[in-house]
Amino acid sequence: MLLKDAAKEKQWSGKLSSKWKGPYYIHDIVGGGAYKIRTLKGRVLKASYNVKHSKRYFDQRGKLPLVFI
Query: Distances from the Cα of 15 to the Cαs of 5, 10, 47, in angstroms?
Result: 13, 11, 28
Is 63 a member of any domain? no
- Mean local confidence (pLDDT), 43-68: 89
User: Amino acid letter at 17?
Assistant: S
Beta strands 2-4 and 20-21, pairing class: antiparallel
Is residue 17 in a domain? Answer: yes
Q: Is residue 65 part of a domain?
A: no
Residue 18 belongs to some domain of the structure:
yes
Does the pLDDT at position 14 exceed 80? no
Mean pLDDT of 2-18: 80
Closest Cα to residue 45, out of 20, 23, 16? 23
In a domain, 33, yes or no: yes
Computed over every residue of the chain, the mean pLDDT equals 88
What predicted TM-score, i.e. pTM, was given to this entire model?
0.75
Residue 68 lies in a domain: no
54's CB contacts (< 8 A; 6+ apart) are 1, 2, 3, 4, 35
**Domain containing residue 49:** 2-54
Number of domains the chain contains: 1
Q: What band does 65 get if pLDDT is binned at 50, 70 and 90?
A: confident
